[in-house]
Amino acid sequence: MLVSELKPTAEILGSLRPGERVFVLACGGCAEVCRAGGEEALAKLRTTLAMAGHPVVEGVALAFLCNKALVGLRLARWAAAMDEAASVLVASCGVGVQAVAGVVDLPVHPASNTVTFGEFQGVWPSGERCDRCGDCVLDHTGGICPVTTCPKELLHGPCGGAHGGECELEPGRPCGWQRIYDRLAQSGRLDLLDRYVEPKDRKLQHDVPLSRRRSTWWDLEAVEED
């Protein structure tokens, strides 16, 4: 399974425009087990957004947001609410955020970071992947992960070798940053490319074994080194 934790409140709110109307989605699968999804996370996000002046047009907890085909079918029930929203906030692992971004026509913001215990990730039927970097940047890249779609893991745009929309390292593979540009252009959010993204803190990607965790494994707080 993929383990996630909610981002800091300031980071979540900082991804939204002032007064933006938001549709909130929370995963009822792995994220719920981690207490970073499901009804618990949904309630927290509703309160946080309301206090910050962001109307929540709807809040929904759906099982296994990583299944893109099922997510698309389920969200059809809330088409009217989607039409009222300016963006979607997703509390799930990185795979779930990417899957949602692939089936909606609105900007999608991650409410969570995905971390790891070094355990088995599980299997999902879609092509999205999450490298569990601990600092999700999908908000800046239109819901397409630059870490897993670009072999060089570039965070600020394509390399000089990209040509004709293809990766220079793997001919025939679509350039991850070309995909990101196209998605942002489609949603009218090319302004996001002007934002500076901090370099990745690779320490966040290090596996933390279960024996080093406090109390229960979902506390997501490592025991201090002796």
For the chain, the structural domain boundaries read: 3-140+201-219, 143-196
What does pTM read for this prediction?
0.81
Neighbours of 138 (CB within 10 A): 24
Looking at CATH, the fold of the domain delimited by 3-140+201-219 is given as Rossmann fold (3.40.50)
C-alpha to C-alpha distance for 141 and 204, rounded to whole angstroms: 20
pLDDT tens digits along 74-128? 999 999 999 999 999 999 988 899 999 999 989 999 999 988 755 555 555 566 7
In this predicted structure, the answer to whether residue 219 has a pLDDT above a threshold of 70 is no
Amino acid 23 reads F
Residues 138 and 110: beta-carbon distance below 8 Å: yes
Other Cβ atoms less than 10 A from the Cβ of 52: the count is: 15
What interhelical angle do 94-101 and 68-75 show, nearest 10?
60
Sign of torsion over alpha carbons 103, 83, 180, 192: negative
Q: Is the pLDDT of residue 211 over 70?
A: no
**What is the Cα 181 distance to its own chain's centre?**
17
- Rounded to 10 degrees, what is the CA torsion of 79, 57, 86, 197? -120
